[in-house]
Structure formats: structure tokens, C-alpha cells
């Protein structure tokens, strides 16, 4: 099932699936600040995309939490990977919400700077980093909706959710913020 809504001129979609299979200008990676690779979606992207992605990550050297950097998409169908670093959830009182919103915002800004028309996100911080799903979904979607209102040049934003529970929560939160 695909949930789809249009905000200004941007289509925002939710799909349940594997982000490494996306045909889009860029996919976003939920990386760590050393850009060292790891488990979860990060591991899957490096496995599917091949060594060219890690070679560029090594050159870049790192990425602070809440910021974003861009590399080639290597062997992926996506032309680029935008690596962003979400916060580790430590109870909510350590600026996590601001950092998670920044991770989305800076990824969107980078896509715009590069002139990209389509971008796919995973549920940043919702795995190993332990962010509560509903709060993360709400922040992710409200950041993307606000961006779409101001930047029609990014035509497609997809949230690629790996399991049904995550998908359902994103769908519920999207309903709350769009008519």
C-alpha cells in the first residue's frame, strides 16, 4: 500500500520497503558521525552500493549529528546518497528533537543545493538509535511538509519504511498534519 499526498507541488509518499531499491535522485542514509558504516540501513546501503560510497565517506571524514553530506550512489539506482546523522535518543531532554529535525532539514537543503528533484528517506534514528517512533514520524513529516510548502522544485519526497509497524505509524502521523 502506498499513502500519497501533495503539498504545494511536491508529492509526499509513504512506502513499505527497502530503500536500497529506490529509483530516485538520492536516498538518505542514517549514518553515524564517523561515516564508518554500521548495521541497519547504513550497512544495507553500503552493501548494495559498493565500495565507492565508503571511499568518498573516508575522504569526507565525518559528519556531526544533525548535519548531512553527499556522496555518489555507487552501484545503487539512486545517483547520490545523502548521509545524515540522527541523534541517539537519551530520554528526550538532550536536544534530540531539534537534532532529528535538523537531520531531515539539512538533507533536504543539500538535495535542493544539488538541484535534485526526488529524495527518499528511511526512518532516521528509529532503529539502533532508539528514537520513539511516533515522535520521530511526526518530526520527520512536519519538517518535509514545511519544506515542500517553500520548495516546489523538489518534486518527490518518499519515506521508505522497513516494516509494517513503522509504516502504519508514519501513515497515522501524516493524516494528522495534512488535510
Would you tell me which residues interact with ligand AR6 (CB under 6 A)? 18-20, 30-32, 38-42, 44, 86, 122-129, 160, 162-163, 166
Neighbours of 39 (CB within 10 A): 10
Quick one: 150 or 161, whose CB is closer to ligand AR6?
Answer: 161
* Catalytic residue (choose from 18, 25, 42, 163): 42
- Give min distance, CB of 95 to ligand AR6, in A: 16
- Give min distance, CB of 43 to ligand AR6, in A: 6
From 139, 170, 145, 152, select the one nearest 3 (Cα to Cα): 170
Cβ-count burial 7-34 (b if 16+ within 10 Å, e if not):
beebebbbbbeebbebebbbbbbbbbee
Quick one: 18 or 153, whose CB is closer to ligand AR6?
Answer: 18
Instruction: Give the integer Cα–Cα distance in Å for 71 and 79.
Output: 9
Residue 42 annotated to the active site? yes
Quick one: 19 or 108, whose CB is closer to ligand AR6?
Answer: 19
Which residues are tagged catalytic? 42
Amino acid at each position: 500500500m502506498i499513502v500519497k499526498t501533495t503539498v504545494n507541488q511536491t508529492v509526499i509518499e509513504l512506502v513499505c520497503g527497502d530503500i536500497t531499491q529506490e529509483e530516485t535522485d538520492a536516498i538518505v542514509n542514517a549514518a553515524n558521525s564517523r561515516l564508518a558504516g554500521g548495521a541497519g540501513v547504513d550497512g544495507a546501503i553500503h552493501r548494495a552500493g559498493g565500495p565507492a560510497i565508503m571511499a568518498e565517506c573516508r575522504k569526507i571524514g565525518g559528519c556531526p549529528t544533525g548535519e548531512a553530506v553527499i556522496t555518489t550512489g555507487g552501484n545503487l539506482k539512486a545517483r547520490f546518497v545523502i548521509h545524515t546523522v540522527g541523534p541517539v535518543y537519551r530520554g528526550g531532554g538532550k536536544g534530540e528533537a531539534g537534532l532529528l529535525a535538523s537531520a531531515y532539514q539539512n538533507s533536504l537543503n543539500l538535495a535542493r543545493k544539488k538541484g535534485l528533484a526526488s529524495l527518499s528517506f528511511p526512518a532516521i534514528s528509529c532503529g539502533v538509535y532508539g528514537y520513539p517512533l511516533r515522535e520521530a514520524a511526526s518530526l520527520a513529516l512536519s519538517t518535509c511538509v514545511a519544506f515542500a510548502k517553500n520548495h516546489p522544485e523538489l518534486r518527490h519526497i518518499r519515506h521508505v519504511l522497513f516494516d509494517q509497524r513503522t509504516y502504519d505509524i508514519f501513515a497515522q502521523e501524516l493524516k494528522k498534519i495534512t488535510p
